Amino acid sequence: MDRHQIMQVLAAAGARPQHRFGQNFMMDQRALSAIVEAGQLSSGDTVLEVGPGAGNLTSLMAARAGHILAVDIDEPLMHAAANHWRHLTNIRWLHADALASKHKLAPEMLSELRSLHATATGSLKLIANLPYNAASPLIAELLTLCWHEQRRDAFQTPSTRAAPRLIFERLIFTVQWEVAQRMAAPPDCADYGSLGILMQLLADVRIVRSIEPGAFWPPPKVRSALVEVIVQPARFGAISNIEQLSAVLRGVFAHRRQNLVNAIRHGLKPPDMATIVSALNAANINPVSRPATLTPGDFLRLSQIIAK
């Protein structure tokens, strides 16, 4: 779809691009093709797309995937896109905010996704041109969901494992370039922080390519990036409590300019700092180092120390 065709879909909805929803519609065919190729779709796959807009990416994926759940917060636009692509019968459209709150995925979205994926023979994937204002919390919550789903399975038998588990094989999405850098950043750099550490503990994260503002209408003010996240369930077992880990990361990086001991003291307020300092030394983590110099593995050990 070009700009004129997108405008036709918008006109049918009596709508225009909504800044509050982070709507920038991708038109560039090379960028769209790059997203689809990164998704490595097969006919048995189930795809979650958040923010389908006019359906440019949705329609391309429908030719390759088994089922697509297209979730949009903009109800008039969603209905117009659903009507425009009504001949594509493997797309299920859902009006919802994918995030019920900053740290909670929409229950209706998860219910629809389980229903679609129940009979799937392939993988579960997120492939989306994400709204900028929701991208970071959404990706963090989807990875957290994967951890919980595998843990749920660990405590069930085949006879009690009724609902299909929602463990994504990969997350392919576009975000602002600066956000992508934070997601993929290595230790000891300015972009390294809580989001990237959590993602790298659960998955392999890679920036595939940059996308210029001209690939979208209306063009955003910043460059975007295509990000590939390959989920690694084999790493999940090392994390005993993902909420505890997330809280430690947020608390420490709220004071990233302080040394580790002070960041823990001010960000987490533990009752017994002396014991924590002793445990840090025993774990070969320098208590006076800067938080950004610790590896993801160091933060995993730190979370376990705090939990004790």
Q: Helix (H, G, I), strand (E, B), or coil: what is residue 70? A: strand
- pLDDT greater at residue 223 or residue 7: 223
pLDDT score, position 7 = 81
Q: CA 51, 56, 60: angle at the middle one, nearest 5?
A: 110
Q: How confident is the model at residue 1 (pLDDT cuts 50, 70, 90)?
A: confident
Contacting residues for 68 by C-beta, under 8 A, at least 6 apart: 46, 47, 48, 49, 58, 61, 62, 90, 91, 92
The DSSP result for 102-128, as a single string, is: TTEE-HHHHHHHHHHHTT-SS-EEEEE
Q: Is the pLDDT of residue 70 over 70?
A: yes
pLDDT in tens, 155-208: 665 654 567 899 999 999 999 999 999 999 999 999 999 999 999 999 999 999
Give the chain's mean pLDDT.
93
pLDDT in tens, 135-150: 999 999 999 999 999 9
Q: What's this model's pTM, rounded to 2 decimal places? A: 0.93
- 104-105 and 46-50 strand pairing: unpaired
pLDDT score, position 159 = 52
Work out the burial of residue 273: count CB atoms within 10 Å of its CB; fewer than 13 is exposed, 13-18 middle, 19 or more buried.
middle
pLDDT in tens, 81-116: 999 999 999 999 999 999 999 899 999 999 999 999
Element (H, E) at 46: strand 46-50
Domains of the chain: 3-237 (3.40.50.150), 242-307 (1.10.8.100)
Percent of the chain with pLDDT over 90: 84
Q: Is the pLDDT of residue 73 over 80?
A: yes
Q: CA 50, 177, 20: angle at the middle one, nearest 5?
A: 45
35: tokens are 């997203």
